Amino acid sequence: MLLAGAFDKLNSIMGSFAPDNTMFSGPESFVFLLANLFVYIAGGLSVIAIAFGFLQLATSSGDVKNAEKAQRAILWGAVGLVVSFLAFILKNVLLKTAGVSGVL
């Protein structure tokens, strides 16, 4: 009963983030929610890192050290974006292979 109460609380707080905008039906949907949130947060942080790198590059004023630092930030932001995109694809492939439907 305690677990059911926890899912009811999650439904009231984050129901719109559940798979297919449905309510949480059990621990599986909560795991799917966490996987989706992780991928979205990782992608968002990667985009922020890329934007920060471009801002650093634009304000480096010809300083080679700052320009290289900015290029590294852009590179690692792009790597993070590719990794989060591949994680999203891998998650979906694994779920489809397992026969799970109704998951973003």
Coil/strand/helix, residue 99: coil
Domain total of the chain: 1
pLDDT, the chain, mean: 79
> What pLDDT score was predicted for residue 102?
56
| 13 is a domain residue | no
3-state DSSP of 19-80: HHHCCCCCHHHHHHHHHHHHHHHHHHHHHHHHHHHHHHHHCCCCCHHHHHHHHHHHHHHHHH
| Domain assignment present for 53 | yes
Tell me, yes or no, whether 6 lies in a domain.
no
Residue 50 domain-assigned (yes or no): yes
In a domain, 103, yes or no: no
pLDDT value of residue 32: 75
In this prediction, residue 73 has a pLDDT band, given cuts at 50, 70 and 90, of very high
Residue 89: inside a domain, yes or no?
A: yes
88 is in which domain, residue-wise? 31-98
Answer yes or no: is 104 within a domain.
no
Residue 45 lies in a domain: yes
